[in-house]
Amino acid sequence: MRVAIAGAGAVGRSIARELIGNGHQVLLIDKSPSSIRPERVPDAEWLLADSCELSSLEEAQFDKCDVVIAATGDDKVNLVTSLLAKTEFGVPRTVARVNHPNNEWLFTEAWGVDVNVSTPRIMSALVEEAVSVGDLVRLFTFRQGNANLVEMTLPPESPYVGTPSGLVPFPDNCALVTILRDGQVYSPSGEQLLEAGDELLFVVPADVEEELERLLSPTSHGG
């Protein structure tokens, strides 16, 4: 497939590397000269252009793209890019990044968006796939650093229910990154109390996962 990605920041470059690794042809577009760094993704095509301008998209040959991904940090830019890709160039599939959850309602087919990607919603959806309370579930693996994003739903019998997250003796190299509770996303500040049923997301090395599970849910290991 030929894929154009609007936004050559960290998100856009990461997507590009993944797609190139899977054998796809990728074009990265950004209007900021400082973002045009071909050495960071040498196998991609690069274009210094504004993805909200029709002339730029004509230069990028959007009419020959199978997929357009609007991955900038500006929701307005992502919406306009998707709309132009769909209505002016007939791109078969558009994917748009939602930076601010309050704007998610705009990212629909009416704006030319086939798929919208909101990080909190993705996390919530992945967590719904957890096997059971107290089980640690690996969501995905980071290619750099030998670490995984894992999820655990804190069981009622955990010894750390009611404990501030900052006082839980998590294993070394283990980072609690998000607490999902009642459909809300909470930042794991040190004072944030853990509650039974909390869905906890961690970044943790593979060799520490079992220790983390044993700490938070000792009964699942017969302890």
Structure tokens at 90: 């007939």
Give me the pLDDT at residue 120, please. Answer: 61
Cβ atoms of 137 and 130 within 8 Å: the answer is yes
Give me the pLDDT at residue 133, please. Answer: 65
SS3 158: coil
Give me the pLDDT at residue 150, please. Answer: 86
SS3 47: strand
Structure tokens at 202: 């961690």
* pLDDT, tens digit (0-9, with 9 covering 90-100), for 129-138: 544 566 777 7
> H or E stretch including 44?
none
Give me the pLDDT at residue 223, please. Answer: 41
Give me the pLDDT at residue 122, please. Answer: 59
Question: Starting at the edge strand that comes first in sequence, how are the strands of the sheet with 136-142 ordered?
Answer: 136-142, 147-153, 199-205, 175-181, 184-186
> H or E stretch including 117?
strand 115-118
The ranges of the chain with pLDDT < 70 are 119-134, 142-145, 219-223
Give me the pLDDT at residue 131, please. Answer: 46
